[in-house]
């Protein structure tokens, strides 16, 4: 036990740190440490104060009643307490639950309804006379934070209910706001580029963005919502959970995902296993299933514990987080010259995927998490297959290596690096072998020029052997030269040369994307191509012309104009055109599908999934990955997945390939 003065000093230090993290978490929405780390600090302080009661100060965070500090958001009293769920992880616990329910209800044919357990931000939304009134987080269950200002910007949430007249009483609905996995990646990418910490998972991201005072970021993101409970819909109209969900849907609320009636433990298990299998294909995170006694009236017999009902239970999936060790930290050089620290990990299996490396984003992140070679870390695979280092796991008594620092020189070409805020760049451009190789790979990638056989290893060799100095040189490679590349025989060299020259006529948007102009991804390329029609027009456009087309920010517009102002870039483009590359104008499609939501399932003959998505988006429609009440059409190809069943259940119109083609015109 430390002596008194040490204890007092350490306690004061802990209080200051805890206060700071409280402010970062609750007020600024920018937590720097994980909840676990925070709990550890708090527990250490509690222990110290318990051992040395004389050092407790009245303003110590441990003395705060309720422990939840004030945030700047308003408080909202919930209509009735927002309960949480008991969780089971194995079949036995679920069997016990079912037994208890049967016993209490006094019936052996109890029907349970199984739903996905959505891993989003829990919310309550109150409607008065069919109009959106306010939205709040769960908070401590009784009182939550007012997030009406951000929830109002979520398009998936109805502001006025469809059958408002029939809703005589006021309504409080409960559900989750979800940041789709596809948007999660974008949000994190933008944060890292700004020098902010990436969110560890979509739930944290949703909470962080929606609990902000300023709604502008929330506005720019397409959140999903789903609902599973309501007060104000009586049991006569909706005797079961199933009818309740239907009633919610009729009122215009999205109700996502599958559900299943379960009469037995085996039924529940089948649904659990099926959802676990399909977890990856969903565009939102689920972390288990929820089993609920279907009969709403009978739930009263079961009642509740202090914080959770006895008529429902969560059956969780195994966690997708795992601990491993950082074997080394290396530095990669990307196509734009950005130097990225990458952790090489002792390989581990995280939910069925072997993870051996994880990006650490930038030096600020490495220092924020205090990650060093040899440290044990917790890896989380959420939102996508790309794993994140969620936190460092301190190992007391284990000596640590020195803090990691970025190199002063580019590891590929040796140029002195430039630092811009938290980011480090190699300024050498295509003179840097790593940047040039990455540019070649990007040029040949799917969605760009789609050159089969131009992978990372091949590109690296082409650069290393001085066979190319820019992307236009690809077109001058002879079969003879290519056979010098490791792993290439005459046939494969010929195949690569053919693949390079095969793509003469290419849609303008793909060509623009292939050029690797900073900030120009698929979306910006498509907008540019559609707005300007020809390469000439894009080249001649000024930054302000580009900004005017909408959907393209100032930074991207500047970047495009700057790219074509550079003589060297224009030279490369001219040589590509001379070599036979002929960007084709993208037809400006009408906005015939404006506001329509599609889901694709199965294989189409005419289009790849990317192409079909592109066709829909060009016409103003959008494509989501799962069927919900908001889906307008499901396009069904051969060998369709379960989405066809979903569509049937939801009563969503289905289109076969012919009908889809007709719709596109
Ligand atoms: S029912 C009173 N259904 O999970 C019953 N909750 O970990 C409680 N959740 O607090 C809610 N999906 O925020 C229910 N299909 C679902 C859910 C769900 C996710 C959340 C809910 C709950 C938490 C418990």
Residue 477 makes CB contacts below 8 A (sequence gap 6+) with: 462, 467, 468, 497, 500
Q: What is the mean pLDDT of residues 581-593?
A: 80
Highest mean pLDDT among 116-130, 158-172, 605-619, 647-661: 116-130
CA distance 521 to 448: 10
Q: What is the mean pLDDT of residues 347-358?
A: 85
pLDDT digits (tens, 9 = 90+) for 372-391: 999 999 998 766 557 888 88
Report field, pTM of the whole predicted structure over 0.95: no
Burial of 223 (0-12, 13-18, 19+ CB in 10 A): buried
Q: What is the mean pLDDT of residues 28-45?
A: 78
- Distance (angstroms) between ligand 1 centre and the Cα of 192 equals 31
pLDDT digits (tens, 9 = 90+) for 137-158: 998 889 999 999 999 999 889 9
Give the angle 435-440-445 at the CA atoms, nearest 5°.
125
What is the topology classification, in CATH, of domain 445-584? Answer: DNA polymerase; domain 1 (1.10.150)
**Which residues participate in catalysis according to the annotation?**
117
Domain boundaries for CATH 2.40.50.140 within the chain: 323-425
Question: How many CB atoms lie under 10 A from the CB of residue 153?
Answer: 16
pLDDT digits (tens, 9 = 90+) for 260-298: 999 999 999 999 999 998 988 888 999 999 999 999 999
In this prediction, residue 351 carries a pLDDT of 72
CA nearest ligand 1 atom 10, residue: 84
In this prediction, residue 68 carries a pLDDT of 46
CATH says 75-316 is which class? alpha beta
Retrieve residue 460's tokens: 């690296």
In this prediction, residue 546 carries a pLDDT of 93
Distances (CA, A) of 53 to 12, 60, 64, 424, 619: 14, 12, 16, 48, 69
Domain boundaries for CATH 1.10.150.20 within the chain: 445-584
Burial of 91 (0-12, 13-18, 19+ CB in 10 A): middle
In this prediction, residue 164 carries a pLDDT of 55
Give the total residue count for the chain. Answer: 665
Q: What percent of the chain has pLDDT over 70?
A: 95
In this prediction, residue 169 carries a pLDDT of 64
In this prediction, residue 196 carries a pLDDT of 78
pLDDT digits (tens, 9 = 90+) for 518-558: 989 888 898 899 889 899 999 999 999 998 887 788 999 99
pLDDT digits (tens, 9 = 90+) for 1-22: 566 678 889 999 999 888 888 7
CA nearest ligand 1 atom 17, residue: 117
- Distance (angstroms) between ligand 1 centre and the Cα of 110 equals 21
CA distance 655 to 635: 5
- Distance (angstroms) between ligand 1 centre and the Cα of 228 equals 8
What CA dihedral angle connects 162, 168, 169 and 175, to 10 degrees? -10
Q: What is the mean pLDDT of residues 166-191?
A: 85
In this prediction, residue 384 carries a pLDDT of 56
Q: Tell the residue number behind the tokens 């530095």, with chain if given.
A: 331
What's the CATH architecture for 4-63?
Answer: Orthogonal Bundle (1.10)
* More confident: 621 or 143: 143
Helix axes 202-210, 181-194, angle to 10 degrees: 70
CA distance 329 to 402: 12
CATH says 597-664 is which class? alpha beta
Mutate which of 88, 296, 314, 316 for ligand 1 pocket (most atoms within 8 A of beta carbon):
314
What's the CATH architecture for 323-425?
Answer: Beta Barrel (2.40)
Q: What's the pLDDT band for 491 if we cut at 50, 70, 90?
A: very high
Domain boundaries for CATH 3.30.470.30 within the chain: 75-316
DSSP string, 243-289: HHHHHHHHTT----S--EEESSHHHHHHHHHHHHHHGGGSSS-EEEE
Retrieve residue 239's tokens: 């005797």
In this prediction, residue 67 carries a pLDDT of 37
Domain boundaries for CATH 3.40.50.10190 within the chain: 597-664
Mutate which of 117, 203, 293, 313 for ligand 1 pocket (most atoms within 8 A of beta carbon):
117
In this prediction, residue 481 carries a pLDDT of 93
What residues flank ligand 1, with Cβ below 6 Å?
83-85, 115, 117-118, 122, 176, 228-229, 290, 309, 312, 314
pLDDT above 70 for 416: yes
Retrieve residue 442's tokens: 């990007």
- Distance (angstroms) between ligand 1 centre and the Cα of 312 equals 9
Q: What percent of the chain has pLDDT over 90?
A: 55
């Amino acid at each position: 036990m430390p002596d008194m003065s040490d204890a007092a000093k350490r306690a004061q230090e802990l209080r200051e740190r805890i206060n700071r993290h409280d402010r970062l978490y609750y007020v600024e929405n920018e937590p720097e440490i994980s909840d676990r780390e925070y709990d550890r600090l708090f527990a250490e302080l509690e222990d110290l104060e318990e051992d040395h009661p004389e050092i407790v100060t009245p303003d110590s965070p441990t003395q705060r009643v309720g422990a939840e500090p004030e945030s700047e958001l308003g408080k909202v009293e919930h209509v009735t307490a927002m309960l949480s769920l008991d969780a089971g992880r194995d079949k036995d616990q679920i069997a016990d639950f079912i037994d208890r329910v049967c016993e209490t209800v006094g019936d052996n044919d109890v029907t349970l309804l199984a739903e996905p357990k959505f891993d989003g931000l829990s919310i309550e939304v109150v409607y008065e006379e069919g109009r959106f009134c306010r939205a709040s987080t769960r908070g401590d269950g009784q009182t939550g934070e007012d997030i009406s200002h951000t929830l109002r910007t979520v398009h998936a949430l109805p502001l006025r209910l469809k059958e408002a007249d029939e809703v005589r009483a006021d309504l409080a609905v409960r559900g989750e706001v979800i940041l789709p996995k596809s948007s999660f990646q974008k949000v994190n990418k933008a944060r890292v580029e700004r020098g902010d910490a990436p969110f560890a998972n979509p739930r944290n991201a949703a909470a962080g963005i929606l609990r902000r005072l300023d709604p502008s970021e929330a506005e720019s993101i397409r959140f999903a919502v789903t609902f599973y409970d309501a007060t104000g819909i009586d049991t006569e109209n909706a005797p079961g959970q199933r009818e309740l969900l239907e009633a919610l849907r009729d009122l215009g609320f999205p109700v996502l995902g599958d559900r299943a009636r379960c009469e037995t433990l085996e039924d529940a298990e089948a649904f659990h296993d099926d959802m676990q299998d399909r977890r990856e294909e969903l565009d939102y995170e689920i972390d288990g299933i929820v089993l609920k006694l279907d009969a709403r009236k009978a739930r009263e017999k079961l009642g509740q514990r202090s914080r959770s009902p006895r008529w429902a239970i969560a059956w969780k999936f195994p966690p997708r987080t795992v601990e491993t060790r950082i074997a080394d930290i290396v530095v990669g050089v990307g196509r734009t010259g950005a130097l990225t620290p990458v952790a090489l990990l002792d390989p581990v299996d995280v939910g069925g995927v072997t993870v051996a490396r994880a990006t650490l984003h930038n030096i600020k992140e490495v220092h924020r998490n205090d990650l060093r070679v040899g440290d044990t870390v917790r890896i989380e695979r959420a939102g996508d297959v790309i794993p994140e280092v969620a936190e460092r796991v301190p190992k007391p008594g284990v000596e640590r290596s020195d803090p990691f620092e970025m190199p002063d020189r580019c590891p590929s070409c040796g140029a002195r690096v430039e630092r811009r805020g938290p980011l480090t760049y190699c300024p050498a451009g295509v003179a840097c072998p790593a940047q040039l190789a990455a540019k070649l790979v990007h040029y040949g990638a799917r969605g760009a020029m789609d050159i089969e056989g131009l992978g990372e290893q091949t590109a690296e060799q082409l650069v290393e052997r001085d066979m190319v100095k820019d992307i236009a040189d690809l077109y001058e490679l002879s079969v003879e030269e290519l056979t010098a590349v490791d792993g290439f025989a005459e046939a494969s060299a010929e195949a690569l040369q053919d693949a390079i020259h095969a793509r003469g006529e290419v849609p303008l948007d793909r060509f623009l994307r292939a050029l690797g102009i900073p900030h120009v991804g698929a979306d910006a390329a498509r907008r540019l191509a559609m707005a300007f029609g020809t390469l000439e027009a894009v080249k001649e456009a000024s930054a302000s012309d580009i900004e005017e087309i909408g959907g393209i920010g100032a930074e991207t517009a500047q970047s495009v104009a700057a790219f074509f102002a550079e003589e060297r870039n224009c030279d490369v483009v001219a040589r590509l055109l001379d070599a036979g590359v002929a960007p084709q104008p993208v037809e400006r499609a009408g906005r015939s599908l404006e506001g329509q939501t599609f889901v694709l399932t199965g294989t189409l003959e005419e289009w790849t999934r990317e192409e079909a998505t592109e066709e829909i988006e060009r016409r103003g429609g959008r494509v989501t990955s799962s069927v919900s009440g908001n889906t307008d059409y499901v396009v069904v190809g051969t060998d369709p997945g379960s989405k066809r069943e979903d569509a049937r259940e939801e009563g969503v119109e289905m289109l076969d390939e012919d009908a889809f083609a007709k719709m596109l015109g």
